[in-house]
Structure 1
Amino acid sequence: MSYDNTCKYLAEQYPADFIKWLLSTETSDIEILKTELSLEPIRADSVTFLQIINTILHLEFQTLPSSNPAMDFRMLDYYTRLKREYGCQIEQVVIFLQQTTSEIVFRQEYVDTNTRHRYRVIRIWEQDPTPLLANPALLPLATLARSDSPNSLLEQVAAAVGMIEENDERQNISACTQILAGLRFNKNLIRQLFREEIMQESVIYQDILQKGEQRGKKQEALALILRQLPRRIGSVSPQLQEQIRSLSVPQLEDLGEALLDFSSETDLINWLATQHS
């Protein structure tokens, strides 16, 4: 299950709540920016850009501490891209979801010979659950917050979810809560406290399943093509590989057929050019 994408859904569905929590600012004048800046090789699934008047809040949700490129470099890379594109103040927050002792989750800056770039890190397991319990949009995150009695905390979250009046919102928050709770709790306990059919009926649950299936299909198609191309045209440059990775599933399927007629790298270059024309 995609824990990172569940958080991305919440941040984009309830941007004002996340801005209030992270920036202590109340505003309804928010624009969710598209992730055109999210170019390969950086995986953009869990990235959210929220723009308020003169500030962009860049959120990055991480289940595992390791990533490629490394998280600290990714934050620098995004900062420079955002600054170049929008020229405004940028607040960057990485939210780590699963408790770990990895030194990566305690790192809050990128340091190189002539560069030092700082960003904010939240380790959700260290957070006070009280403000999270008070906001329906943050209830899923509350399941992972600090507690001496995690099971009691989960019961509190389940009770708060059950009090959400609007049916669709209750279904979607319940689904997100159950997904994130899976990082910490036994499935049987989650099922005892939440109605499974509510999760299955939820829009976000169905959307995550569909995206998961699509990612699986893309990875399979990509792996097959990157195995076949060298047999047809020899080694493929890293630049061309990145262009191939950016293709959609239908485009990858088309490439899988087209490459049977390729005899040189030029054929691949020309085919890729038709996909961006």
Structure 2
Amino acid sequence: MNYDNICKYLAEQYPASFVRWLFSEPVSTEIQVLKTELSLEPIRADAVTLLQTTNQILHIEFQTLPDSEPPIPLRMLDYWVRLYRQYRCPVEQVVIFLKSTTSESAFIEQFSAPNTRHRYRVIRMWEQDPTLLLADNALLPLAVLAQANSPRALLEQVATQVDNIELSERKQNVSACVQLLAGLRFEQDLIQQLFREEIMRESVIYQDIIQKGIQQGKQEGELAVVLRLLTRRLGTIESEVQERLRSLTTTQLENLAEALLDFSNSDDLTNWLQSQGG
């Protein structure tokens, strides 16, 4: 489950709620969700949300696990440089860790190297007071991950508030996100006791996740077949080449399955991959 992208969905659907929470002040200006492409290699930005207000950009990055490659501090510096180069305005950066951990990586708040320091904010959800999150329906999914003497009581309170949301579409989507993120902290049996599963299944975000899961499953199945065929024809496939193969779309893998019948050595595979843009 890609929990990071669930939070990205929430931030892009309800940007004013996230700005109010992160800046602790009323939102008096229009907020624009930027679709700036930041996924240049070797740094990907799958769960990055960029919100532009009148005088600055809020860059939010959601992380389930704190360890990554490249490391998060380097990524934040890289994002800042790219954003500042393009927009030339202040950039406020916040990394939000979702799942409780003792990893040192979750407690680092700056990039440091000789002659270079870059700071950013870090929010560890398990340390957060849930009060502000409970006050805004759009933030209820994050509230289930907040600090609590009784996590179960907190989940029950969130369930009650979700049940009281009047707009049906918003109720469906918030409920789906609550149930999915609650999986980081609670047993599935308890979640099912407190929430109506049919509401989650009717939500846009849940349907999108299911569809992406189906597509991912198809891609993984096609990749496994292609790897077996290539290994049989060319021998051991180097790990770097396997990584490149994993980035191919299902259609590209299907095309490769046909093309490899004419391969006689690894150079043929390399040339084919280069013809695909890599």
| TM beyond 0.5 | yes
Question: Separation in 2 of the partners of 1:212 and 1:205?
Answer: 11
Tell me how far apart the structure 2 counterparts of residues 100 and 32 of structure 1 sit (CA, whole Å).
Answer: 30
Residues 129-208 of structure 1: pairs in structure 2 closer than 5 A: 129-208=130-209
Indicate the residue corresponding to 1:12 in structure 2: 12
The separation in 2 between residues aligned to 1:106 and 1:64, in whole angstroms, is 12
**Residues 129, 226 of structure 1: CA spacing in aligned structure 2 closer, same or farther, 3 A cutoff?**
same
1:97 paired residue number: 98
Aligned residue pair count: 274
Report the Cα distance in structure 1 between the residues aligned to 2:176 and 2:27, rounded to whole angstroms. 26
2: distance between equivalents of 1:46 and 1:105? 17
1:126 aligns with 2:132: no
Q: Is the 8 A contact 1:105 1:123 kept in 2?
A: yes
Query: CA, structure 1 residues 51+218, in 2 after alignment: closer, same or farther (shift >3 Å)?
Result: farther
**Aligned positions of 1:210-229 closer than 5 A:** 210-222=211-223
Q: Which stretches in structure 2 are left out of the alignment for 5+ residues? A: none
Give the aligned residue type for 1:14.
Answer: Y
Q: Distance in 1 between matches of 2:174 and 2:154?
A: 16
**Deviation for aligned residue 1:216:** 3.8
Provide the secondary structure at the position in 2 that maps to 1:210: helix
- In 2, distance between residues paired with 1:54 and 1:226? 50
* Deviation sequence 1:53-88 (CA, Å, 0-9, x none): 232211111111111211111111211222222222
Structure 1: gaps spanning 5 or more residues: none
**Which residue pairs with 1:114 in the alignment?**
115
Contact 1:5-1:208 within 8 A present in 2 as well: no
Worse-matched range after superposition: 75-84 or 248-257: 248-257
Q: Deviations over 1:85-114 (max 9, x none)?
A: 222211111100111111111000111223
Helix, strand or coil for the counterpart of 1:69?
A: coil
CA gap of 1:213–1:67, structure 2 versus 1, over 3 A, is farther
In 2: Cα distance, 1:100 partner to 1:249 partner = 35
For the residues of structure 2 that align with 1:213 and 1:138, how far apart are their CA atoms? 28
Q: Which residue of 1 aligns with 2:52?
A: 51
CA distance in 1, matches of 2:243, 2:130: 41
Q: Letter of the aligned partner of 1:3 in structure 2?
A: Y
Moved more, 244-253 or 119-128: 244-253
Q: Is the 8 A contact 1:58 1:91 kept in 2?
A: yes
The answer to whether the Cα contact below 8 Å between 2:38 and 2:44 also exists between their aligned partners in 1 is: no
The 1:242/1:83 distance shift into structure 2, 3 A limit, reads farther
Query: Matched residues, percent identical?
Result: 61
Structure 1 position 146, deviation (Å):
0.8
Over the aligned positions, Cα root-mean-square deviation in angstroms equals 2.7
TM-score, structure 2 length as denominator?
0.86
For residue 18 of structure 1, report the CA deviation from its aligned partner. 0.8
Secondary structure of the residue aligned to 2:41 is coil
User: Which amino acid counterpart does residue 169 of structure 2 have in structure 1?
Assistant: D
Shift of residue 33 of structure 1? 2.0
DSSP 3-state at the match of 1:211 = helix
* Residue 160 (structure 1) shift: 0.8
Tell me, yes or no, if the aligned pair for 2:29 and 2:54 is still in contact at 8 Å: no
Is the Cα contact below 8 Å between 1:174 and 1:198 reproduced in 2? yes
Residues 40, 242 of structure 1: 8 Å contact kept: no
SS in 1 for 2:57: strand
**Contact between 2:126 and 2:147, CA under 8 Å: does it hold in 1?**
yes
Quick one: structure 1 residues 30 and 224, their matched pair in 2 at CA, closer, same or farther if it must change by over 3 Å? Answer: farther
Which residue identity lines up with residue 161 of structure 1 in the other structure? V
Q: CA deviation at 1:25?
A: 5.1
Aligned to 2:257: 256
| 2:22 alignment counterpart | 22
How far apart, CA to CA, are the structure 1 residues paired with 2:255 and 2:126?
45
CA–CA separation in structure 1 for the residues paired with 2:242 and 2:85: 26
Counterpart check, 1:36 vs 2:61: no
